[in-house]
Structure 1
Amino acid sequence: MTAEYLDITVFATALITLFVIIDPPGTIPLFLSLTGRKSVAARAKAAWQATLVSLAVISVFAVAGQAILSYLGIGIPALQGAGGLLLLLVALDLLTGRESAQPEAAEEVNVALVPLGTPLLAGPGAIAATIVFVRQAEGQLPAYTALALAIVTVHVVLLLCLRYSGAIIRVIKESGITLVAKIAGLLVAAIAVQLIADAVRGFIDAA
């Protein structure tokens, strides 16, 4: 009965793929580096915002991703390059400590939209994987249902990871937040460079 409404294979494959790409536990250091000095209520709000932004972006691309990219004439390599450059700017801010000088309101917006919501969570990798899964579904309702459930499940786990990251803050204190920010900056820089390298490779292969 379940197979008539839900493709278990597609669900498991999509869930594992998106979980590895989005990496909810791996986003905690960056989240702490950006929100560690905020109040508990502000961190909770940022966790909800970042998760909802990521869910909304991935959902939009699941429904109309291929049409959007085709209409704008954008390929996956261009998406990867743009995401890489944006993340590189964020990494430089984290490594130099310039993010602490931003106004509180602007910092809240950045946490929700950039870099957490996109391109770190709903980035080129997650978008490309979602579009591929939609293509493979080939109009089959059980496959579409499985993909939708996988996307929601990953984001529920993501919300839990971000929402309860405050427990870590109580342990590592102020100096730990600064250290985490530097480590997060280094990791984000590495992700950015990898995205740019993948973009260059994609352009070369397409030439």
Structure 2
Amino acid sequence: MDILGIAVLIFLVTDPFGNIAIFLAALKGVAPERRLKVALRELLFALVLLLLFLTFGEKILSALGLSREAIAIAGGIILFIIALRLIFPTPQGVLGDLPDGEPMLVPLATPAVAGPSALAVLMTLRNTHQGHLWELYLAVLLAWAGTALILLQAAFLQRFLGPRGLIAIERLTGMLLIMLSIDMLLDNLQSVLHIAP
């Protein structure tokens, strides 16, 4: 996968369109003049978490003694589950009830943007990417910039797209993630079973 492909994958997993409602709900209790600052702060926290996990995630996996194929297959399964949740959401939403007041780190930075799924995908990419490490860092920055651009315009996008438009985009994201996860699973199962593509 090239840098753009990796960035798109990370962007899809961070699910900015699905997080619009979460951002709006979490910022509802914040003073209107502070909402943009708080949202930007939370997005910067999320970026730091993503970069830290990309940097140190490999050490965690090495300490656990996990193989490259096992990590990639697990990443594919996690992507598949995320995609199913996007296509068939639960009534309580992704994060359940949100606390009142100004959010700090939780629930916007994590688990909304830098959630377990995004961190698992970064671990998988770090162990399976054949290119230079800077390519992964650049892909994370590109994906985060796209996510931040959408979430900082959350109120406008909600008015423009409406609830049905947001749901449609989230379902489409889920379909794309299912295709990516199946491709990831097939590639790594072929590697484990020594089957030529």
The two structures share one fold, judged by TM-score above 0.5:
yes
Task: Name the residue aligned to 2:129.
Answer: 129
Task: Identify the match of residue 185 of structure 1 among 167, 174, 190.
Answer: 174
Task: Name the residue aligned to 2:188.
Answer: 199
Deviations 1:23-49 (A, max 9, x none): 279538822113345226475455334
Structure with higher helix content: 1
Task: Name the residue aligned to 2:120.
Answer: 119
Q: CA deviation at 1:22?
A: 2.6
**In 2, Cα distance between equivalents of 1:181 and 1:46:** 22
Maintained 8 Å contact 1:55/1:151: no
Maintained 8 Å contact 1:81/1:199: yes
**In 2, Cα distance between equivalents of 1:193 and 1:92:** 12
**In 1, Cα distance between equivalents of 2:116 and 2:98:** 14
Maintained 8 Å contact 1:51/1:159: yes
SS of 1:100's equivalent in the other structure is: coil
Equivalent position amino acid for 1:133 in 2: H
Task: Name the residue aligned to 1:91.
Answer: 83
Distance change >3 Å, CA 103–CA 87, structure 1 → 2? farther
Task: Name the residue aligned to 1:53.
Answer: 49
- Alignment of structure 1 residues 5-154 onto 2, 5 Å: 17-23=2-8, 26-27=11-12, 30-39=15-24, 41=35, 44=40, 47-61=43-57, 65=58, 69-98=61-90, 100=93, 102-104=96-98, 108=108, 109-111=110-112, 112-115=114-117, 117-120=118-121, 122-129=122-129, 133=132, 147=134, 150-154=135-139
Equivalent position amino acid for 2:177 in 1: V
Equivalent position amino acid for 1:57 in 2: F
Distance change >3 Å, CA 200–CA 100, structure 1 → 2? same
Deviations 1:70-122 (A, max 9, x none): 5433111101111111122211111112162623368644322232x3234x1
Which aligned segments of 4 or more residues in structure 1 are displaced greater than 6 angstroms? Answer: none
Counterpart check, 1:176 vs 2:161: no
**In 1, Cα distance between equivalents of 2:164 and 2:22:** 11
Segments of structure 2 that go 5 or more residues without pairing to the other structure are 28-34, 100-105
Q: CA deviation at 1:173?
A: 2.2
Aligned-residue Cα RMSD (Å) equals 3.4
Maintained 8 Å contact 1:47/1:163: yes
**In 2, Cα distance between equivalents of 1:45 and 1:27:** 21
**In 1, Cα distance between equivalents of 2:89 and 2:20:** 13
Deviations 1:169-202 (A, max 9, x none): 4431222111111111111122222222222122
Equivalent position amino acid for 1:35 in 2: I
Tell me the TM-score normalized by structure 2: 0.67
**In 2, Cα distance between equivalents of 1:22 and 1:31:** 13
How many pairs align?
A: 170
Equivalent position amino acid for 1:113 in 2: G
Distance change >3 Å, CA 26–CA 127, structure 1 → 2? same
Maintained 8 Å contact 1:80/1:198: no
